[in-house]
Amino acid sequence: MNSWTLVRAADFIDFNPRESLLKNAMAKKVAMERLQPFTRDIPGFEIAPFNGGSKFRNGDTLMARITPCLENGKTAQISILGDDEVGFGSTEFIVLRAKPAVSDADFIYYLSMSPLLRDTAIKSMVGSSGRQRVQQGVLDNTEFYAPPLSEQIVIGRTLRVLDDKIANNKKINHHLEQMAQAIFKSWFVDFEPFGGTMPDEWRAGSFSEVISTTLSGDWGKDVPFGNNSQEVYCIRGADIPDVNVGNKGKMPIRFILTKNYTSKRLTVGDVVVEISGGSPTQSTGRCALITQSLLDRYDRGMVCTNFCRAIKPSEGYSAFAYFYWKYLYDQNVMFSYENGTTGIKNLDITGFLENEPIIIPPIDVVAQFAKAVDTFVDAIFANGLENEGLATTRDTLLPRLMSGELSIADLGDAK
């Protein structure tokens, strides 16, 4: 760190740089919900008329300024715009931009994810409960040691390589998921392998006919307390995207009653469904398939939280039930089975299982379908496992590189 210098954040980072967009001009908009926890890239945007909000360009970092979004890891780097294009987003974003000849855009993104800046921002929050915001003045005046620009570039590039591989695996998994869903639709919606007509031996029915039972969730305690002594992983709705690629993500470890562990423990083939949450644009009903490889990796056992429910498909029907559920979710069918307040929606899972019409093929066809999609599921899980390792490596390197504990010489040739 001999060449590192003590800098003030506002002298190193251009916070909320001035940009121009005409009122009502159509531009790419990034809403807060687009940012994924602890994920560099933003998966999508919308085209909307500009009527206020933060403005940014490619390479800029967006950091949530409001609780709980910042604590939940909503920080991302913009890469969805064209050359000289300006986008806009939530007023609750802080925009961070590199200063020419002073700082590097990638280094600034990873700095914003490191304790040096992130923890300071979180600790500076003030305001009423649930609406606390980062104090920009505190962030401006934060001091830290920064390396020369040439070292910043190597550090940023080193961490970027890991995130690029993670992003590529996610793209591959997205395509694999689409391929598996296309097979499902071809077989059980369009009946393409059967001449475009539902075979006579198939019948109309409901999910309840291919489900043996359902399991309620259990949140338990965060530490052993009384008879709550059984240690388990607890799947929340927020964990479902990670579980779908074979990872536990940030799934918490909880302590529940032993008798509840016996009756609520998840087993191979179960489908975990989110039954509480939702929004005007996203219904409840996200689901995840429990596989043997997942359970082998997390051998404490698993239950789902009270805001989820596990369905146990009948013997041989797990893959069919899982992909059918995902198909109906993508068709926004779950909105019809929601009730509750405007802010929190609840899925009437009993009503859905009993009343939503589905096509039920015989078990031999279901078995053929399961065999056809198993390869896709295995590949998705393999990529997910690799991503979990890459993320662990990145998260281990990041604070050490940003603090100077680990030098670029320690990394070897980063080119």
For 14-56, the pLDDT digits (tens) are 999 999 999 999 999 999 999 998 999 999 999 999 999 999 9
Helix (H) or strand (E) holding 173: helix 149-188
Q: Tell whether 136 and 27 lie within a shared domain.
A: yes
Is 238 a member of any domain?
yes
Nearest to 343, CA basis, from 284, 271, 261: 284
Checking if the pLDDT of 343 tops 80, the result is no
3 state SS of 407: coil
Q: What pLDDT sits at residue 71?
A: 94
Residues 111 and 398: their CA atoms lie apart, in Å, by: 8
Q: Read off the tokens for 195.
A: 């001449």
Nearest to 282, CA basis, from 205, 202, 233, 344: 344
Checking if the pLDDT of 254 tops 50, the result is yes
State the residue range of the domain holding 72.
Answer: 5-146
Looking at the chain, the whole-number percentage of residues with pLDDT higher than 90 is 86
Nearest to 117, CA basis, from 372, 380, 403: 403
Q: Tell whether 306 and 354 lie within a shared domain.
A: yes
Q: Tell whether 217 and 353 lie within a shared domain.
A: yes
Residues 242 and 290: their CA atoms lie apart, in Å, by: 12
Q: What pLDDT sits at residue 299?
A: 79
ω before 100 within 30° of 0 (cis)? no
Looking at the chain, the whole-number percentage of residues with pLDDT higher than 70 is 97
Instruction: Work out the widest C-alpha separation in the chain, in whole angstroms.
Output: 78
Is 184 a member of any domain?
no
Q: Tell whether 381 and 254 lie within a shared domain.
A: no
Q: Whose structure tokens read 């369905």?
A: 311
Q: What pLDDT sits at residue 341?
A: 66
In sequence order, what E strands does 251-307 have?
253-257, 271-274, 276-277, 287-289, 302-304
Residues 403 and 104: their CA atoms lie apart, in Å, by: 16
Q: Read off the tokens for 236.
A: 């929340």
Give the domain-ending residue among 321, 344, 360: 360
- How do residues 86-116 score in pLDDT, each as one tens digit? 999 999 999 999 999 999 999 999 999 999 9
Number of domains in the chain: 3
Phi and psi at residue 46, to the nearest 5°: -130, 160
Average pLDDT, the chain: 93
Residue 247: which pLDDT band, with cuts at 50, 70 and 90? confident
Is 192 a member of any domain?
no
Q: Tell whether 271 and 414 lie within a shared domain.
A: no
Task: Read off the pLDDT of each residue in 60-81 and give the average, rounded to a whole number.
Answer: 96
Checking if the pLDDT of 414 tops 60, the result is no
Q: Tell whether 130 and 219 lie within a shared domain.
A: no
Is 197 a member of any domain?
no
Helix runs in 1-92, H state only: 9-12
How many C-alpha atoms does 212 have within 13 Å on its Cβ side?
10
Is 98 a member of any domain?
yes
- How do residues 182-229 score in pLDDT, each as one tens digit? 999 999 999 999 999 999 999 999 999 999 999 999 999 999 999 999
Is 393 a member of any domain?
yes
Q: Tell whether 212 and 341 lie within a shared domain.
A: yes
Residue 231: which pLDDT band, with cuts at 50, 70 and 90? very high
Residues 288 and 381: their CA atoms lie apart, in Å, by: 12
Residues 145 and 124: their CA atoms lie apart, in Å, by: 20
Q: Tell whether 232 and 216 lie within a shared domain.
A: yes
Q: Tell whether 221 and 168 lie within a shared domain.
A: no
Q: Tell whether 10 and 100 lie within a shared domain.
A: yes
Q: Is there a contact between 376 and 179 (Cβ–Cβ < 8 Å)?
A: yes
Strand 46-49 with 75-77, pairing: unpaired
Q: Tell whether 29 and 131 lie within a shared domain.
A: yes
Q: What pLDDT sits at residue 376?
A: 95
Is 277 a member of any domain?
yes
Is 302 a member of any domain?
yes
Q: What pLDDT sits at residue 415?
A: 42
Q: What is the DSSP letter of 119?
A: H
Across 28-32, 81-85, 242-246, 400-404, least confident range: 242-246
Task: Read off the pLDDT of each residue in 331-351 and give the average, rounded to a whole number.
Answer: 87
Task: Read off the pLDDT of each residue in 150-179 and give the average, rounded to a whole number.
Answer: 96
Nearest to 173, CA basis, from 319, 369, 377: 377
Q: What pLDDT sits at residue 249?
A: 77
This prediction's pTM: 0.88
Q: Tell whether 305 and 398 lie within a shared domain.
A: no
Strand 287-289 with 345-347, pairing: unpaired
Task: Read off the pLDDT of each residue in 140-147 and give the average, rounded to a whole number.
Answer: 96
In one letter, which amino acid is 227? N
Helix (H) or strand (E) holding 340: strand 338-340
In one letter, which amino acid is 72? N
Domain harbouring 252, CATH code = 3.90.220.20
- How do residues 347-380 score in pLDDT, each as one tens digit? 999 999 999 999 999 999 999 999 999 999 999 9
Q: What pLDDT sits at residue 412?
A: 63
